[in-house]
Structure 1
Amino acid sequence: MKRFLLAAVLSLLTAGSTMAQTVVLVRHAEKVDASADPVLSEAGQARAAALAAVLADAHPGHVFTSPLQRTRLTAGPAADFHSVTVEPIGFEGGTPAHVAAVAARVRALPDSAVVLVVGHSNTIPLIARALGYTAAADMADCEYDRLTMLDLNGEHTAAVVGRYGAPTTC
């Protein structure tokens, strides 16, 4: 089932629509420890590489993260592969303001944009909902392998949820 979902995500990413934005949402990869701003563990580095591989044919032109290094490090290999600069969006005003800022930044892009957003277990579902995917499930703190692909077409949002990299267990 996981392979089918990932294949569907990849199919939609590579098919592309000139009339809809494609937004890929993932949580940062596994971190080395529970400190305030940790780097990625070896498993996290492998997951970041897996994300780059999944997005190799997707051609994201924009990459948004939080300002924390674990999100930037997760996005880094994919951004490097596509020669895109990672754009951190701050937490000024708290989580609701961050979510609104990410959604506004995505919505301001051209209709044909492909966007990667790397956030946190508490922000990625909120960002998905802010972009119109109201059924976005909350994430457990131990979940690192969810990839949500949104197709934003005006007021309509379609979503495919898949998994990438090594499976995580909660």
Structure 2
Amino acid sequence: MKGLIGSLLVLLATLHSPLAGADSAPSADVTQASMPLVVFLVRHAEKQQPGKDPELTQEGRDRARDLANLLQSAQIEAVHSTDFARTRATAGPTAAALNIELSLYDPFKLKAFANTLKRRGGRHLVVGHSNTTPALVTLLGGEAGDSIDDASEFDRLYVITQGGGVVETVLLRYGEP
């Protein structure tokens, strides 16, 4: 079932992506700034309680692996995380599976980070927090929907696509509920 959902997610992101129908490699005269953008955004997985910088629980580690499996065919080019144990541990399996170095971003400078993503284009995974993930969705021009339940909601996956002046938001769920 998870494989089917993962395949559907990748298909959905590809079909709704401004990249659909484009050559897989941009021509030499296309700049990074003109590249369409696809961003997968999640909140970190389940964390241990309490603590200043808690690690993930076993449930959280399982969810992080589920995310890596789900996104393995999504052609992600960059994996971004805040500099907290729980976000790095959520992003880590995807970065490792794709052989991509984890890139850290400052959650207090979301507007600058959103602008960097827009300029760069391409396909990204961004792991954040219950407050920063919806805020970043909005800064990217997407629709964040209801607030994330800080106590119990760890399965929300946003897919934001931007290109040709159009922004689309798809909200999915992943891993075990």
Q: Under a length normalisation based on structure 2, what TM-score does the superposition of the two structures give?
A: 0.81
Deviations 1:72-131 (A, max 9, x none): 11000000111111111124xx4xxx2213212211213xx1100000000000000000
CA apart distance, 1:20? 2.5
Of stretches 154-163 and 133-142 in structure 1, the one that deviates more from structure 2 is: 133-142
Larger Rg: 2
1:132 aligned residue: 141
Distance in 2 of aligned mates of 1:130 and 1:122? 13
Deviation at 1:51, TM superposition (A): 0.2
- Partner residue, 2:111: 100
Shift in CA distance, 135/40, structure 1 to aligned 2, threshold 3 Å:
closer
Match of 2:25 in 1: none
**Unpaired runs of 5+ in structure 1?**
none
One-letter amino acid of the structure 2 residue matched with residue 106 of structure 1: L
Matched, 1:145 2:158: no
Map of 1:69-88 to 2, 5 A cutoff? 69-88=85-104
Amino acid at match of 2:9: V
Give the direction of change, closer, same or farther, for the CA distance of 1:155–1:56 in structure 2 (3 Å limit). same
Secondary structure in structure 2 of the residue aligned to 1:108:
helix
Distance 1:55 1:6 in 2: 7
Which residue of structure 1 lines up, in the alignment, with residue 44 of structure 2? Answer: 28
Change (3 A) 1:49 1:131: same
Structure 2: distance between partners of 1:136 and 1:85? 31
Task: Using structure 1 for the length normalisation, give the TM-score.
Answer: 0.84
Alignment RMSD: 2.1
Query: For residues 35 and 135 of structure 1, do their structure 2 counterparts lie closer, same or farther at Cα, with a shift above 3 Å needed?
Result: closer
Q: Give the Cα–Cα distance (whole angstroms) in 1 for the partners of residues 36 and 174 of structure 2.
A: 23
Shift of 1:36: 1.4
Task: Look up the match of 1:164.
Answer: 174
Partner of 2:30: none
- From the superposition, tell whether residues 85 and 120 of structure 1 become closer, same or farther in structure 2 (CA, over 3 Å): same
